[in-house]
Chains A and B, each alone.
Chain A
């Protein structure tokens, strides 16, 4: 018997017994928790049980980011609204008034707002998830947790922004006397697909960004560009009428096209554009899932190096 244990037990006789983490399930003995350390398989990332164990950290990080975003800002959460409002305003003027594109029977501003809403769901998820590793480099270098927690926690903060934007959408629909259709029930599905795609791309660029920081710059440029290769501020039909076949292909292969059209259809019904092609939607959904899968696989392969290179 070790002397240390003996003496200490005496010293701390009155101190409470080890508070066991498994207080609830009492029976779980310390022996049950065995951590095996060794070279890990890159596919282990698809085992999400550990992420679930660390859900409190995920929440804490999301809470931190949300608090920090608005602390010491005068306007606070209004910034969340300002950005899509300004974007929609610009689209309404440039495409609606100057280029005289049609938005069906919907006010152009509102038409563009819905586009911007979908685009933001994608873009905010992409930006935050890809940047989460580098901006938490300190944590990555000093503590263990499933690295996937970092990009996942940004999903929550993006959801908060989305919630606020959706609230504003409801107000805008009321103000413009647009009936609430049953299609609105599909909105979560579209947003989920936007975020799936955003997270998938974000995992890819985020993994690479750990080693090459300029991936972040490239991503910024591509997002700028992507906003116009996606029918955010205009409808696809209007653009396809006016452009060459070569340019049109950009919209055809872009999965976001179908998601934006789908979201607009859910909100406006047949008042604008109409239903997207089922094949297109299936393609977009498949691409989103595929890219997410690829992103996770790449992340799983790269995450083992994060702490060494970050």
Chain B
């Protein structure tokens, strides 16, 4: 496997190889076939009904009775469309792709939660899949009871859980609260205990969705560390994430999905490069003409959102030294409700660069709106973002805390270096931001 040569430098790579017992481990891992996962031509089709989805039996019967001959307009959506790849035993493979590329569907198919429409996959070895942390946890049950329940949900049998119980409790650091219902846990404790169970699952193939997105920074590092441990024991890991930083740390190889197909597959560094550069097109505007189907609900709907340059033109390409304006237009249909427009900006490594809203605006911040159409704008100053690709998530919240509308990364744009602020330096300038900050140099006379 040539790809592994390019694997990220792990902290132990400088240690000289120790023969004896890892030889054993290796031979164990390599018995017979070397393939752990074979995915061949997997496709998954969802049918979207273009009428209000009828979850009520009478409704369905009524509409059938009214228009007996009219078939509901169906749209077929291929979330996965012929995905094939193989993963060798012991490989740690990252699955990346933009929202809607089919990553989650692929994980669901490989975890057997949903069935593929076509194609097959073979998994050699015991599979553990973590699509979220703490599936099956019940708030009324105690920590101890939840460990057993969650363990069973993840596919461990009782003896296994009993054998691992102390290790799980130890890892979570919640021994004092074992007999307290988890509803009284802090969210940090809850997540730690939940992850601890999952971490002791000991499968031969581990399928992980972005579980690392939970918990504080410290805990995330612990999780990542645990995943590295697991990987180092020769287990096979399939890891889906938006966070390129974690992918780079963990995975030697990446599969890049786009529109339900494999767009690139190879060494991580190479695939991430491809991923980032392919984001180049940019989506500068999204608009909804029909108020009924626009995102939102009966009190507010988003009818448009766009990225505008300093000349007022909708554009996905911006110069580093020019200000960039993000805007959203929304229609309020019920009076007296407090709304806030919010934008989240992500860079191409899926690091959230900032969150911004108008809470401190003396006129429109945290106030109630009358029915009507509004345009909210925020301007990111020039010489502030570094060059690269960005995406923006428009959000409208109600009463400050409730997210009513959230369109994940529905806008994307590029910031292009125009030489601003770099003086005569020609190399790449690192940093998430590249702000023009006031510097002073004062000669100090001794």
Q: List residues of chain A with CB under 8 Å of any chain B CB.
A: 1-13, 15, 17-19, 21, 29-31, 33-40, 54, 56-57, 59-61, 63-64, 67-68, 71-72, 138-145, 208, 211-215, 218, 304, 307-308
Contact = CB atoms under 8 A, between A and B. Distances in A.
Nearest to B123: A35
A61 B158 CA distance: 13
Contact of B153 (A9, A19, A139): A139
Given A2-B88, A215-B57, 10 more contacts: A7-B10, A9-B25, A35-B122, A37-B120, A37-B122, A38-B121, A40-B115, A68-B138, A143-B113, A143-B131
B311 interface: no
B13 A3 contact: yes
Contacts of B125: 30-31, 33
A67 B145 CA distance: 10
A22 B101 CA distance: 37
Contacts of A29: 31-32
B26 interface: yes
A139 B55 CA distance: 20
Contacts of A5: 26, 29, 90, 232, 234
A19 B124 contact: no
Contacts of B24: 17
Contacts of A17: 24-25, 28
User: Top 8 closest A-B pairs, CB basis?
Assistant: A8-B232, A9-B22, A60-B152, A212-B57, A38-B120, A144-B112, A37-B121, A30-B125
A92 B244 CA distance: 71
A56 B90 contact: no
Nearest to B235: A18
Q: Considering residues A18, A211, A308, which has the most beta carbons from chain B within 10 angstroms of its beta carbon?
A: A18
Interface residues of B, number: 81
Given A38-B116, A218-B57, A13 B141 contact: no
A144 B4 contact: no
Contacts of B293: none
Given A64-B149, A142-B131, A30 B233 contact: no
A2 B12 contact: no
Interface string B121-133: 1111111010110
Contact of B127 (A13, A35, A141): A35
25 contacts: A2-B90, A3-B4, A4-B4, A5-B29, A7-B232, A10-B15, A10-B22, A12-B232, A13-B21, A17-B24, A30-B126, A37-B122, A38-B116, A56-B158, A59-B158, A67-B145, A68-B138, A139-B136, A142-B131, A144-B129, A208-B57, A212-B57, A214-B56, A304-B115, A307-B113
Nearest to A136: B136
B15 A11 contact: yes
A39 B116 contact: yes
Contacts of A138: 135-136
Contacts of B60: 212
B152 A56 contact: yes
Contacts of A56: 152, 156-158
B140 interface: yes
Q: Considering residues A37, A67, A140, A208, which has the most beta carbons from chain B within 10 angstroms of its beta carbon?
A: A37
A92 B303 CA distance: 65
A18 B120 CA distance: 28
A220 to B, nearest CB: 14
Contacts of B31: 29-31
Q: Considering residues B28, B91, B115, which has the most beta carbons from chain A within 10 angstroms of its beta carbon?
A: B115
A142 B113 contact: yes
Nearest to B40: A38
Interface string B1-29: 10011010010110101100110111011
B124 A37 contact: no
A239 to B, nearest CB: 32
A36 B120 contact: yes
A213 B141 contact: no
A3 B231 CA distance: 12
B17 A145 contact: no
B226 to A, nearest CB: 12
Given A7-B12, A144-B112, A39 B252 contact: no
Given A18-B28, A31-B125, A141-B113, A9 B4 contact: no
A229 B363 CA distance: 67
Nearest to A31: B32
B249 interface: no
Contact of B141 (A6, A64, A308): A64
Interface in B300-356: none
Contacts of B111: 143-144
Contacts of B10: 4, 7-8, 11
Given A38-B119, A57-B153, A7 B13 contact: yes
Contacts of B55: 211-213
B112 A1 contact: no
B116 to A, nearest CB: 6
Nearest to B152: A60
Q: Considering residues B4, B33, B92, B153, which has the most beta carbons from chain A within 10 angstroms of its beta carbon?
A: B153
A307 B22 contact: no
A24 B32 CA distance: 22
A34 B123 contact: yes
Interface in B360-377: none
A12 B29 contact: no
A211 to B, nearest CB: 7
Contact of B252 (A4, A30, A40, A143): A4
Contacts of B234: 5, 8-9, 18
Contacts of B91: 2, 4
Contacts of A304: 114-115
Nearest to A36: B122
A298 to B, nearest CB: 15
Contacts of A15: 229, 233
Nearest to B25: A9
Nearest to A210: B55
Contacts of A60: 148-149, 152-153
Contacts of A35: 112, 122-123, 127
A139 B135 contact: yes
A8 B233 contact: yes
A22 to B, nearest CB: 9
Contacts of A212: 55-57, 60
A175 to B, nearest CB: 37
Nearest to A34: B124
Contacts of B228: 8
A64 B233 contact: no
B88 A37 contact: no
